[in-house]
């Protein structure tokens, strides 16, 4: 799934970003921790990176997602597509198994969702409204341990079975259930197959913007590699922009829902140490139009896992005003010297009422009118007002019965 949102910033005299702040965090030596960060209050939540093996999406009875802890070096293979083969799984057949990977652009498209069944790991039963497991997976750990795994059922939770290969036989077969009601403020529930226990490995979904962790990505075609980087919360969008002057310039940046937009390539290794690209700025946008700009300033690598970044609230540069709870708009440049003005508007949720933009001369005569999209998303509409005389005009954005009016100067 890929959805790209476009925005152009409204930069005008009088809008000033807040002071720049510094965040220092540490993943620990050899990146032993995953660190969740929330910019608004600089909150950090740290969890042992190897504390879990499998994660289960729990935010809805209709949403299914199972991820593997790829950052801990665990590989997933589809070993059979018939649950009746459970007792016949043979690790000597590894070469014939199909490797599966977490999607690093979408949290919910985990490795187990990549299997050959309709739902990755299983099929929907219309009689019971359960999803029933049909795929047998094998997890291969960094130390060479094998565990076979099948998620047997989903209905308000995940019931799964697993066993460990001891070198000659599958042992310690266990069946357990992770209920969706557990940890109701989190998106995922986590389970350690190694320790046969549920664990908490993330904060409440409202308490983090991004997580610093190891994960697998496709560096080259058909070449998967474990990298250290940043994945962002699914409830925010992120843009990146090359800004060598160091000045905030969020004009015409592209906001993306892909969780690896920040990713791993803000740093590079020069043979003796890591260099960070301090010219690359990242814009982190919340649904309510709060935007933070962040730049990485230091990365010490696996010896310490220490990372430093600077950030600031640049929301005021966007110049948005709320028309309704669901619609906000701004415009730039203002004044305009060529009669071209961009209307930037954000529809948080698809609305049934009509959105319109109207331009009035100072004497009240309407000189321009256009209907705008009502579907959710960010929009940037350029108005060509070059045919109008220089002077002051009033621009009104109307959503249903609500409207906001701004002054526009044509020079």
Structural domains in the chain, CATH included, are: 4-48+205-315 (no CATH), 54-199 (no CATH), 320-410 (2.60.40.2550)
Q: By three-state DSSP, how is residue 348 classified?
A: coil
Q: Which carries the bigger pLDDT value, residue 74 or residue 2? A: 74
- Residue 297: CB atoms within 10 Å: 14
Tokens of 258: 């892909």
Average pLDDT over residues 17-30: 89
pLDDT confidence of residue 317: 65
Cα R_g (the chain), whole angstroms: 25
For residue range 107-142, list pLDDT tens digits in order.
Answer: 999 999 999 999 999 999 999 999 999 999 999 999
Average pLDDT over residues 241-258: 77
pTM reported for the whole predicted model:
0.80
| Helix/strand number for the chain, H first, E second | 0, 33
Pick the closest to residue 33 from 211, 190, 187 (CA basis): 211
- Asked whether the predicted pLDDT for residue 85 surpasses 60, the reply is yes
């Amino acid at each position: 799934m890929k959805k790209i949102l476009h925005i152009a910033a409204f930069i005008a005299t009088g809008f000033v970003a807040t002071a720049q702040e510094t965040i220092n965090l540490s993943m620990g030596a050899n990146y032993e921790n995953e660190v969740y960060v929330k910019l608004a209050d600089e909150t950090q939540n740290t969890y042992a990176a190897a504390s879990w093996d499998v994660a289960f999406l729990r935010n809805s009875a209709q949403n299914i997602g199972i991820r593997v802890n790829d950052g801990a070096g665990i590989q997933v293979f589809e070993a059979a597509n018939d649950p009746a083969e459970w007792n016949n799984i043979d690790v000597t057949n590894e070469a014939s198994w199909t490797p599966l990977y977490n999607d690093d652009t979408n949290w919910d498209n985990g490795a187990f969702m990549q299997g050959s069944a309709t739902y990755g790991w299983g099929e929907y039963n219309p009689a019971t409204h359960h999803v029933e497991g049909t795929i047998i997976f094998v997890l291969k750990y960094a130390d060479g341990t094998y565990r076979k795994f099948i998620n047997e059922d989903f209905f308000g939770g995940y019931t799964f079975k697993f066993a460990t290969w001891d070198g000659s036989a599958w042992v310690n077969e266990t069946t357990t259930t992770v209920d969706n009601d557990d940890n109701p403020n989190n998106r995922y529930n986590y389970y350690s197959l190694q320790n046969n226990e549920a664990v908490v490995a993330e904060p409440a979904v409202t308490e983090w913007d991004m997580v610093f962790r190891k994960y697998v990505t496709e560096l080259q075609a058909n070449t998967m590699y474990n990298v250290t980087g940043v994945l962002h919360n699914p409830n925010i969008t992120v843009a990146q922009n090359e800004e060598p002057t160091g000045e905030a310039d969020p004009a015409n940046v592209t906001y993306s829902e892909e969780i690896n937009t920040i990713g791993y390539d803000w740093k590079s290794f020069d043979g003796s140490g890591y260099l960070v690209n301090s010219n690359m700025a990242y814009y982190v946008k919340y649904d309510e139009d709060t935007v933070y700009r962040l730049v990485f300033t230091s990365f010490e690598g696996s010896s310490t896992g220490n990372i430093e970044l600077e950030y600031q609230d640049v929301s005021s540069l966007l110049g948005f005003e709320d028309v309704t709870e669901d619609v906000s708009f701004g415009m730039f440049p203002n004044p305009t010297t060529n009669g071209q003005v961009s209307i930037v508007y954000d529809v948080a949720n698809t609305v049934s009422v009509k959105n319109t933009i109207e331009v009035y001369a100072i004497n009240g005569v309407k000189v321009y009118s256009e209907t705008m999209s009502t579907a959710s998303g960010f929009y940037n509409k350029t108005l060509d007002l070059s045919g109008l005389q220089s002077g002051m005009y009033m621009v009104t954005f109307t959503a249903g019965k609500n409207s906001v009016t701004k002054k526009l100067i044509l020079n």
